[in-house]
Amino acid sequence: MDGSPTLKARRKHQNWTQVRFVRPRYFKTRESFQKGRDESNRFNVFRRPDDDQNQWPYMDGDAVVGILRTKVSIWISRDDSLGSGATGMSSNANFHQELIIDGCDRHSTSRPTVKEGFPLWHGYQNWAPIPGMHETASPPSGAPRISLFEDFIYWMSKYPWPPSLAETTYLQNLRIIMQPILYLTCAEWLIICQYIKSRLGQIEWELSNPGEFYKDTQIIDKSLERLHTWRRHIPFYREILIETLRSDGPSPVDSRHSIPAATMIFAEDVTPDIEEVIVQMSELQERTDRLTAMVVAAISIADSHRSLEESSNVARLTWLATIFIPLSFITGLFSMQEDIGKLRVTFGWYFTCAIPVTVMTLSVVIIAKYQLGRKGGLNKKTSA
């Protein structure tokens, strides 16, 4: 949780806002993942990568994907004035990183970025315009991808944001800060959605191969644990997304700005992306619940198979006991013989009596079983 809940009435008068999202990061080994956690422990905020517990033994090996919760804060400290718009920046690798637009005091802070590991699937795509075939200028290099803070700075200065801004300095500067932040957060949300789809697809593949899936109960249990991870995380992700969509942004402290901040933050080209991510999260939640029900059913089927095998083993033991009952009975009768010298005759009589009694006993059992089966078949026909 990030702080206590805020009243909507209070939110309209606050001069700050927050954008929360998650970022997946790839670690090649467990040792690399632990180094990333140790690196995050040196931050002044608790934002360590969490193991998603979704490693797939067929392909992942020792690799780990860590999920990092991230937050960007924007606030206004005092009234602005027209004509002010100088930009300043201060940062620290292990602490909050801060961007300040001076004169009108717009502040933006982002949480530190873990250097260990790699962005999952090389991160988001390059949004810079593609140069034409006949242009001699070199293609744009793209964002530095060093840290989230450096990416913010790059896209604020490089990307050609839409020019349809209001004339007031407040809304201009707010748009300059919020647009790249929202673009980056939407891109990260789309990556996490695609990642969850990939993990759920792996579980569906296991379910479609029952020969591999049912032969080891640990595979079934592991799949259920992986599904429980997303059942816990996806509702939390949807909550963050809805909170971002409903955010009004930092409100100005004077009454000169009558345009709602939300109309400037969520432009027409950004809102559909956020709404699309929310729809995808809802679909992923339904898909996760459906797969959970299928895995639970698979567990029940596996338990039924084990019970059937145990019943077959018990039936074999019953037949074995049936064979030895008459043999033990005859043995008990002949054990009353005290003269050891007459054992030869005793053995002869033993087999002479024991074998017919055993055959007769098995015949009675088989005939009784046949009669019961025939009676059950007649009852089914009459009921049909």
- 217 within a domain of the structure (yes/no): yes
Number of neighbours of residue 281 by Cβ within 10 angstroms: 24
What the block records as the tokens of 178 is 């919020």
pTM score of the predicted model: 0.69
**H/E element holding 17?**
strand 16-27
User: What is residue 214's predicted lDDT score, i.e. its pLDDT?
Assistant: 66
225 Ramachandran zone, left/alpha/beta (phi>0; psi -120 to 50)? alpha
The total number of structural domains in the chain stands at 2
170, 241: one domain: yes
358, 296: one domain: no
* Highest mean predicted confidence (pLDDT) among 107-111, 221-225, 346-350: 221-225
Q: How far apart are CA 384 and CA 381, in angstroms?
A: 5
- 1 within a domain of the structure (yes/no): no
Q: Which residue has the higher pLDDT, 344 or 364?
A: 364
- 289 within a domain of the structure (yes/no): yes
User: What is residue 244's predicted lDDT score, i.e. its pLDDT?
Assistant: 81
Length of the chain: 384
DSSP assignment of 293-328 equals HHHHHHHHHHHHHHHHHHHHHHHHHHHHHHHHHHHH
- 4 within a domain of the structure (yes/no): no
Backbone angles phi, psi at 342, to 5 degrees: -95, 15
Q: In this structure, are residues 97 and 110 in contact, taking their beta carbons and an 8 Å threshold?
A: yes
Above pLDDT 90, what percent of the chain?
Answer: 11
Q: Which residue has the higher pLDDT, 106 or 354?
A: 354
- 156 within a domain of the structure (yes/no): yes
Q: In this structure, are residues 47 and 68 in contact, taking their beta carbons and an 8 Å threshold?
A: yes
- 182 within a domain of the structure (yes/no): yes
354, 269: one domain: no
294, 347: one domain: no
- 123 within a domain of the structure (yes/no): yes
- pLDDT tens digit string along 324-334? 777 776 677 66
| Average per-residue pLDDT for the chain | 73
Number of neighbours of residue 96 by Cβ within 10 angstroms: 16
Q: Given pLDDT bands bounded at 50, 70 and 90, which one contains residue 97?
A: very low
Burial (CB count <10 Å: 0-12, 13-18, 19+), residue 114? buried
Q: Is 104 helix (H, G, I), strand (E, B) or coil?
A: coil
Which stretch of 85-94, 172-181, 292-301 has the lowest confidence by average pLDDT? 85-94
Domain containing 364 equals 337-379
- 310 within a domain of the structure (yes/no): no
150, 247: one domain: yes
User: What is residue 104's predicted lDDT score, i.e. its pLDDT?
Assistant: 39
- pLDDT tens digit string along 205-244? 888 876 766 666 777 788 888 999 999 999 999 998 888 8
- pLDDT tens digit string along 129-161? 777 777 777 766 777 777 777 888 888 777 555
User: What is residue 3's predicted lDDT score, i.e. its pLDDT?
Assistant: 58
349, 242: one domain: no
Instruction: Give the pLDDT mean for 267-277.
Output: 78
**Listed residue (82, 52, 81, 79) closest to 68, CA to CA:** 52
Kindly tell me if the per-residue pLDDT of 52 is higher than 90: no
Q: Which residue has the higher pLDDT, 357 or 187?
A: 187
Q: How far apart are CA 110 and CA 120, in angstroms?
A: 20
354, 211: one domain: no
